[in-house]
């Protein structure tokens, strides 16, 4: 039920104005300092202006960069590991935003990974820090630890039963934010939601991790109960929805990313409830790669929306009927 965990740390370099008030010269100074620093690490460093629009979109869909970072291409950069588990956004809302990602609900592991990189950077660059306020950040919500813990959860059964609004409303009263697939101001697709802490000030890193974990456990318990109820009380309707999704994905000749995500979400629920025999890891991976940017890195650039929808349908048919993703790049489409 939990797809991924991400821990983000917001930091600014002492003595340089925050990006919202910085001059172009200030921002280029940040670029120079961070580029020099990361040259001694295994992380790749790239200025966004040197990355193609297609690559930027794929990185956005993989949560390596944020929508805000892509808006500041002339003075923004990203350092990232080959596997995407670790990345650093330069000159986003803050000078430095460290991100660590782990599969499932591994909040402590992601925190440990981000913290190790944070320690390395702090030994080489002085951070803006106040003894009372903690790390100084562009947005007041990030003061204190500067930490944001985000856990992506899959809640299709709650949505099918119509219980999702009430459950999410209850979760948000527990001092967390629930956002869509790509974070703030984005819609949910495929019944995927990001659960994250609202504030970092007045709390320790351990406090934040514990609070988010508690809410995730609450959502998982509700989703598990909803799945049991669906299977017990509405099995025929559930099986019908799952097999219809399988049929659409196996035979469609054109499909949008939104519809594909919804169908994959339903099919993954059916796989987990042992209604349909299909590889769960394949479905989880497909929910990422059928997004526009990732899709085009596999099948090649296609800029017409209708052509993209056709390519997506071809790729999904190939993957679903063969039960594999590895050879998707060689798919004859």
* Predicted confidence (pLDDT) per residue in 306-327, tens digit: 988 998 999 899 889 886 555 4
- Residue 101: what pLDDT? 94
Check pLDDT > 60 for residue 233: yes
Among the listed residues 284, 296, 306, the one whose alpha carbon sits nearest the alpha carbon of residue 329: 296
Whether residue 253 contacts residue 313, with contact meaning beta carbons closer than 8 Å, is answered with: yes
Q: In which band, very low, low, confident or very high, does the pLDDT at 127 lie, cut at 50, 70 and 90?
A: very high
* Number of helices followed by number of strands (H, E) in the chain: 12, 10
Q: Which ranges in 173-304 belong to alpha helices (H)?
A: 205-233, 235-251, 257-272, 280-289, 292-299
Q: Would you call 290 exposed, middle or buried from its count of C-beta atoms within 10 A (0-12, 13-18, 19+)?
A: buried
> DSSP secondary-structure letter at 279?
-
Q: What is the pTM of this model?
A: 0.86
| Residue 34 three-state SS | helix
* Residue bearing the bigger pLDDT, 133 or 83: 133
* pLDDT for res 186: 52
**Is the pLDDT at 32 greater than 60, yes or no?**
yes
Identify any residues that bridge with 77 across adjacent strands, giving them in sequence order.
47, 90
| C-alpha span between 328 and 333 (Å, rounded) | 10
Cα 269 to Cα 231: distance, rounded to the nearest angstrom? 11
Question: What is the distance between the alpha carbons of residues 165 and 160, in angstroms, rounded to a whole number?
Answer: 11
Q: State the burial class of residue 284 (Cβ atoms within 10 Å of its Cβ: 0-12, 13-18, 19+).
A: middle
Q: What is the mean pLDDT of the chain?
A: 89
Query: What are the distances in angstroms from CA 291 to CA 101, 105, 138, 255, 313?
Result: 19, 23, 31, 11, 12
pLDDT for the residue 132: 92
């Amino acid at each position: 039920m939990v797809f991924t965990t991400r821990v983000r740390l917001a930091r600014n370099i002492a003595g340089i104005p925050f990006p919202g008030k910085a001059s172009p010269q200030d921002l280029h100074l940040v670029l120079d300092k961070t580029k020099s620093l990361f040259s001694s690490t295994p992380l790749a460093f790239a200025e966004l202006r040197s990355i193609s629009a297609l690559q930027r979109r794929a990185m956005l869909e993989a949560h390596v960069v944020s929508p805000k970072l892509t808006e500041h291409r002339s003075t923004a950069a990203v350092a990232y590991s080959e596997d995407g588990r670790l990345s650093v956004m330069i000159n986003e809302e803050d000078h430095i935003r460290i991100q660590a990602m782990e599969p499932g609900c591994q909040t402590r592991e992601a925190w440990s990974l981000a913290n190790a990189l944070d320690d390395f950077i702090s030994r080489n660059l002085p951070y803006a820090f106040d003894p009372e306020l903690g790390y100084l950040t562009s947005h007041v919500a990030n003061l204190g630890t500067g930490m944001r813990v985000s856990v992506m959860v899959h809640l299709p059964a709650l949505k099918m039963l119509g219980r999702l609004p009430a459950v999410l409303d209850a979760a948000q009263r527990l001092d967390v934010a629930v956002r869509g697939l790509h974070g703030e101001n984005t819609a949910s697709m495929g019944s995927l939601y990001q659960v994250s802490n609202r504030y970092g000030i007045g709390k320790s890193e351990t406090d934040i991790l514990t609070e988010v974990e508690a809410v995730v456990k609450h959502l998982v318990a509700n989703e598990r109960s909803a799945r049991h109820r669906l299977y017990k009380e509405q099995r025929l309707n559930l099986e019908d929805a799952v097999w219809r999704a399988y049929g659409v994905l196996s035979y469609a000749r054109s499909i949008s990313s939104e519809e594909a995500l919804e169908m994959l979400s339903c099919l993954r629920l059916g796989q987990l409830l042992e209604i349909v025999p299909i590889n769960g890891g394949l479905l989880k991976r497909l929910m990422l790669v059928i997004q526009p940017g990732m899709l085009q890195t596999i099948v090649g650039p296609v800029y017409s929306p209708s052509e993209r929808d056709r390519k997506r349908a071809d790729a999904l048919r190939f993957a679903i009927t063969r039960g594999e993703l590895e050879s998707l790049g060689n798919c004859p489409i």
